[in-house]
Amino acid sequence: MATTPAPTEEAAGTGSAANRSAVRSLLRLWPYVRPVRARLSIAAVIAVVASCTGLVIPLALKWIVDGPVADRDTGGVWLGALYLLLLGIAEAVLFGLRRWLVARPLAGVEAAMRADLYRHLQRLPVAFHDRWPSGQLLSRGTTDLMLLRMFLAFPLTFLLVNSVTILVGFLIMLAQDWTLGLVLLAPAVPVVIVCWLFEKRYSQVARQAQDQVGDLTTLVEESVLGIRIIKGFGRHRSQALAFRALSRELRGTELVKARLLAGIFAVITTLPELAVGAALVLGSVQVADGSLSAGTLVAFLSTALALRWPVESIGFLLAMSQEAATATERYFEVMDAAPEPETAPVPRPGGGPGAGAGDGGGLRFEGVRFRYPDADPGGVPVLDGVDLHVRHGETMALVGGTGSGKTTLTALVPRLHEVTEGRITLDGVDITDMPRQTLRALVAVAFEEPTLFSASVGENVLMGAADTAGEADLRRALDIAQADFVHALPHGTDTQVGEQGLSLSGGQRQRLALARAVVGNPRFLVLDDPLSALDVHTEALVEAALRRVLAGTTALVVAHRPSTVLLADRVALLSGGRVTAVGTHHELLRTSAEYAWLMSGRTETTERENR
């Protein structure tokens, strides 16, 4: 099974990983950090104070060694020990206070970013979701945001804290003995060069690993949702091999990250340790010849050892910062995608919604052309010059062969896709001049593949109505869709249908989707073969109830069965992306060979059943 790579169109706008600036990427988090900047700033100051408090300990040791120890003053030694204990307690309390200060606000930052991502995903066009694997989006809303919270909680603060600590520590050591201080400063240049090379390489590998996590998430999600297919066709082995291959790729990338981390840790640990060793030898010689006191050497070495963690943590902090930078880039690749345009209503000749059934009334397609956004601009469009008028209060059946563009045409009405050329009007008003919320309140849709959510039956159906809809509306919609089976479920309409509604049969899901479409008494109804999964007897009952609904609305119904076609007042034949014939069912049977062929083998039987 081939893996689905992460989309590159959106990502391409930000450049390759090698050309990105981690700082510039991380600065994009500022709008989310701004509301909690006061607490984060206080926490950073407290952390600096706590870290610098630790640097006072070597000075206390110097006083103990050169004072009470040299003078054999036991009481002074105990007093010095008390000072050291108080300094240690103060350092621990300050670090604990810092953690307490950042925990709640950073959880709020993560929650706000996740909420914004979810809200933005709802506003992105269907074309975006068609291109992006769901696992890539899930990983951005989970793993990437967790990395960002960890960065804000730890590396962001400690890159500053450790830098200040190292600076103050070296100033203290230079003040103690400048020659020994210069010895410890010697590794600074090679360490900086190694860190620069590490940052450049690690950013690329971190991005690769996070994209691979998204691919793996997609595969797992598809395997869970498609478990019936996997079991039905015995594809356990192929899926396991695909999973193993992706896991092996991710493991290899993580090992590259581990090798890079091991390399930088080796350098930033070994070089400073060698410098400390050299300073110890040189300092011991100076103590031996009397040019340096033992207390000063102890304080110097204690300060150097206190700086071990700030220095050694550089690689770890840089790694977390790079992972956070790539997580930020991945997050904003989605947030930067243009949402569906929202326009204000613009009055047009012919009236607005509800203008009545004049010549401009009903649903009209005028010269509609459509090609998918990622299609070849020079290729043949899916729809090419569609002209069709569904009169006010009329039901139009849309018939055509596979790939003729029927489903695409119905998706244009609620603006799930935007027309490439031409326009669509509802009662004379261009749908692009309506706010989407207004448009989708006027138009209800039911798709051939019904989608149900992990919610109750009632919640799934009432999703198609206004918030004021109640129990009476729910019962009416269920009656129309012949969905009486819900009353036999364990908790009736309060029964949870489970993920994707897979606890129900295909016909049951389709009836609930139809109930969702009609529950809100829509002015316009778009049905994409809504009865395809029903048995003959249930279909007849649904059609009988549906006739009453269609009598009071303007409807466009994609139909494959003659029985569904007979619900319509007129039929439009779609062929090659164009409407090639319009008329009643019987007229098209006589005048259109293609329509007669599409209906062949079923027409006579259906007509006998409807007599």
Rounded percentage of the chain residues whose pLDDT exceeds 70: 90
Residues 547-568: tens digit of each pLDDT: 878 888 899 998 888 888 888 8
Rounded to an integer, what distance in angstroms lies between the CA atom of residue 421 and that of residue 363? 17
367 shares its domain with 331: no
Confidence band, pLDDT 50/70/90 cuts, at residue 389: very high
Quote the domain boundaries for residue 454.
363-372+381-610
Cβ distance 383 to 403 under 8 Å? no
281 shares its domain with 416: no
Residues 408-420: tens digit of each pLDDT: 899 899 988 888 8
pTM, full prediction: 0.75
Among 511, 486, 483, 482, which Cα is nearest to 496's? Answer: 486
Among 250, 211, 130, 600, which Cα is nearest to 399's? Answer: 600
Burial environment of residue 332 by CB neighbours within 10 A (0 to 12, 13 to 18, 19 or more): middle
Helix (H, G, I), strand (E, B) or coil at 399: strand
299-308, 519-528, 589-598: which range is least confident on average?
299-308
368 shares its domain with 316: no
Confidence band, pLDDT 50/70/90 cuts, at residue 332: very high
What is the structure's pLDDT at 9?
39
Rounded CA Rg of the chain = 35
**CATH number of the domain that 287 lies in?**
1.20.1560.10
408 shares its domain with 320: no
Residues 437-459: tens digit of each pLDDT: 888 888 988 887 778 888 888 88
Q: Is residue 121 part of a domain?
A: yes
Confidence band, pLDDT 50/70/90 cuts, at residue 544: confident
What is the structure's pLDDT at 342?
62
**What are 147's two structure tokens?**
């990395």
Burial 97-128 (b: 16+ CB within 10 A, else e): ebeebbeebbeebbeebeeebeeebeebbeeb
Q: Is residue 343 part of a domain?
A: no
Q: How many domains does the chain have?
A: 2
331 shares its domain with 389: no
Average pLDDT (34-63) is 84
**What are 311's two structure tokens?**
């220095």
What is the structure's pLDDT at 118?
92
Residues 138-174: tens digit of each pLDDT: 889 888 999 999 888 888 888 888 888 888 888 888 8
Among 382, 408, 357, which Cα is nearest to 524's? Answer: 357
Rounded to an integer, what distance in angstroms lies between the CA atom of residue 98 and that of residue 121? 35
Q: Is residue 440 part of a domain?
A: yes
Residues 217-274: tens digit of each pLDDT: 888 888 877 777 777 777 788 888 888 999 999 999 999 988 988 888 888 888 888 8
537 shares its domain with 475: yes
Residue 2 has pLDDT above 60, yes or no: no
Residue 199 has pLDDT above 90, yes or no: no
From residue 1, give the alpha-carbon distance in Å to each of 38, 425, 444. Answer: 51, 44, 37
What is the structure's pLDDT at 571?
93
Q: Average pLDDT of the chain?
A: 82
Confidence band, pLDDT 50/70/90 cuts, at residue 3: very low
574 shares its domain with 506: yes
Tell me which of 314 and 590 has the higher pLDDT: 590
From residue 543, give the alpha-carbon distance in Å to each of 134, 530, 561. Answer: 36, 10, 12
Confidence band, pLDDT 50/70/90 cuts, at residue 353: very low
What is the structure's pLDDT at 610?
45
What is the structure's pLDDT at 170?
84
Rounded to an integer, what distance in angstroms lies between the CA atom of residue 543 and that of residue 482? 9
Confidence band, pLDDT 50/70/90 cuts, at residue 202: confident
What is the structure's pLDDT at 20?
59
Cβ distance 358 to 350 under 8 Å? yes
- The helix (H) or strand (E) run that includes residue 49 is helix 37-64
**What are 348's two structure tokens?**
């047009």
Rounded to an integer, what distance in angstroms lies between the CA atom of residue 237 and that of residue 241? 6
Q: Is residue 8 part of a domain?
A: no
Q: Is residue 357 part of a domain?
A: no
Rounded to an integer, what distance in angstroms lies between the CA atom of residue 333 and that of residue 404? 34
Residue 608 has pLDDT above 50, yes or no: no
